[in-house]
Structure 1
Amino acid sequence: MDEQQKRIEDLYELVDGIETAMFVTQRGDGQLVSRPMATQKRNPIADLWFVTDVESNKIDELDEHPRINLSYFSTKTYEWVSVSGTATVSTDRATIRELYQPDWKMWFGELDEVRDGGPDDPRLTLVLVTAESVLYMKQEKSKPVVLFELLKGKVTGERPEIGDVKSVTL
């Protein structure tokens, strides 16, 4: 496995372990907006993908400004990922049915016979993110070593050495 492929594998391992991203979009007035969103299971149709309500503000923001940033951080391991890319909105019912997960229902709830949080609910919309560049830090030290480095940094005032930042350009 070459270095680029190893970094891509590290990225997906981190994202799978952290699960929730802060999904950053840009409003029409230029302001950035962040909101937590659960990364869905990986699928060949996009680098990363999410499900949302077609009527949410983020859909309007993505229509105007499709460039996004995703940030992930684990408080357990101090690992983090930052993904810059382009989002594409899809309401393709066949794809939604194919990718549907039962836990989506809790986020949409049942409003009526049609809007029931199931795979045919017209509110369900996919946001497919194509990553263009990624920065991340994957912890390669044991937890006791990381804790020692953090404690040492607090005592000495020196920056703790807890991991190396790596990048992937896709």
Structure 2
Amino acid sequence: MNDQHNRDKLWELIKDVRFTMISHHTETQEIHAQPMTMLNSEKLHERQNLYFILRDSNDLVTAVTSGRNQIGLAFSKPSDGIYVSMSAHAQISTDRALIDQLWNPWAENWFNGKDDPSVRVLVAEAISAEYWNVTDNKVTQLFKVLKGNLTGKTGEPNSEHQKMDL
């Protein structure tokens, strides 16, 4: 597969996975992860940066503004056999045009409107990724598990697996 095909495949895998676990280093160098909602959509025509709305008091804002801007993003959709791990450089934005573009009714639950002064956007610039996409259907996966239980020989599911620099 060429680089563009891999990027397209990666985007197809994550574009409908709304919830992401984002990891970062704390002041004491512990790794902390928290769930966030990815706001990318086809209208952004963006396949390099990922976007998240958060409050200025969020731990991610503190980490990034303190220079700890290397983050990890984990996506999974087990029902479709999709698993993605991504490394990114993070930036915090207060760009009103970007906030307007990303704003949605769900954000209203967390803020006092899009003009709330605490609104920030986490911009994650993807630098590398790895994905696993199980291609066996559920019946085949179950058959392989049962066969492995009976024979003692594991039957790995068929899957696509790719590492890439972005």
* TM-score of Structure 1 vs Structure 2, range by shorter chain: 0.7 to 0.9
C-alpha change, 1:161 and 1:30, in structure 2 (3 Å) is same
For the aligned residue pairs, the C-alpha RMSD in angstroms reads 1.9
The residue type paired with residue 21 of structure 2 is M
Write the mapping of 1:12-31 to structure 2, written as runs, cut at 5 A: 12-31=11-30
Deviations 1:108-164 (A, max 9, x none): 15xxxxxx1x22111211001111110001232323223323333444252523313
SS at 1:12 equivalent = helix
Contact 2:145 2:154 in 1 (8 A): no
Aligned residues: 161
Query: Structure 1 residue 128 and structure 2 residue 123: aligned?
Result: yes
The residue type paired with residue 31 of structure 2 is L
The residue type paired with residue 148 of structure 1 is F
Among 55, 58, 63, the alignment partner of 1:56 is: 58
**What is the aligned partner in structure 1 of residue 137 from structure 2?**
142
Contact 1:22 1:71 in 2 (8 A): yes
The CA distance in 1 between the partners of 2:127 and 2:156, in whole Å, is: 29
**What is the aligned partner in structure 1 of residue 102 from structure 2?**
99
The runs of at least 4 consecutive aligned structure 1 residues that moved more than 3 Å come to 150-155
Q: 1 or 2, which has the higher strand percentage?
A: 2
> With structure 1 as the length reference, what TM-score do the two structures score?
0.84
1:18 shift after superposition: 2.2
Q: Which runs of 5+ in 1 are unaligned?
A: 110-115
> With structure 2 as the length reference, what TM-score do the two structures score?
0.86
SS at 1:28 equivalent = coil
Q: Which runs of 5+ in 2 are unaligned?
A: none
